[in-house]
Amino acid sequence: MKSEGFRRLLRQVGSLTRQQRSQLSDALRPAVGLDKVCEAIDRARPAPLCCPACGNSRHYRHGIVRGLQRYRCRACSHTFSALSGTPLARLRHRAKWLDYLKELLDSRSVRTAAKLIGVHRNTSFRWRHRFLDAIRHDQPERLAGIAEADEMFLLESQKDPAS
């Protein structure tokens, strides 16, 4: 969106009803969730990031896929992201991960978490095990960034837009 259009949109936000603000917030939530997840993944990536195919650390940026930076290896041309080779690599619906992680940490059941987040119970079951795998096998400092982003996300989503 062009900046003039965006400024106009921002001015209109002030005249929304409480219900409209709530609808707008719901509409933005998945995108905000995806941004937070991708920021956390990017912050938590190991340095140097090595190619999972050949181990070479020389690579260049190669586009963004579903919000996440991709890289191409200079040695073997393999493309990868900070998630390649981790238990989270091929999971979909990244925008819902932080919300799901919160339910997981709140000890919700597979079915309850699925209902709350709006994913199939089989997805909920798969995520639960991949997330636990990631937590178990990963270094704690790499998870700290995700937990921090989760906390920020919760704080932001709990703010009352009417106040």
In single-letter form, the type of residue at position 69 comes to: Q
φ, ψ dihedrals at 78, nearest 5° = -65, 140
Please identify, using beta-carbon distances, which residue of 56 and 112 lies nearer to Zn ion. 56
Q: How far is the CB of 49 from Zn ion (least distance, A)?
A: 11
Spatial strand order of the sheet with 79-80 comes to 59-65, 68-73, 79-80
> Closer CB to Zn ion, residue 69 or residue 112?
69
User: Which of 21/78 has CB closer to Zn ion?
Assistant: 78
Least Cβ distance, residue 48 to Zn ion (angstroms): 13
Least gap, CB of 77 to Zn ion (angstroms): 7
Task: Please identify, using beta-carbon distances, which residue of 8 and 74 lies nearer to Zn ion.
Answer: 74
- Min separation Cβ 139 and Zn ion, Å: 22
Q: How many CB atoms lie within 10 A of CB 41?
A: 23
Q: What are phi and psi of 59, to 5 degrees?
A: -155, 170
Residues binding Zn ion (CB under 5 A): 51, 53-54, 56, 73, 75-76, 78
DSSP 14-55: TT--HHHHHHHHHHHHHHHHHHHHHHHHHHHS-SS---TTT-
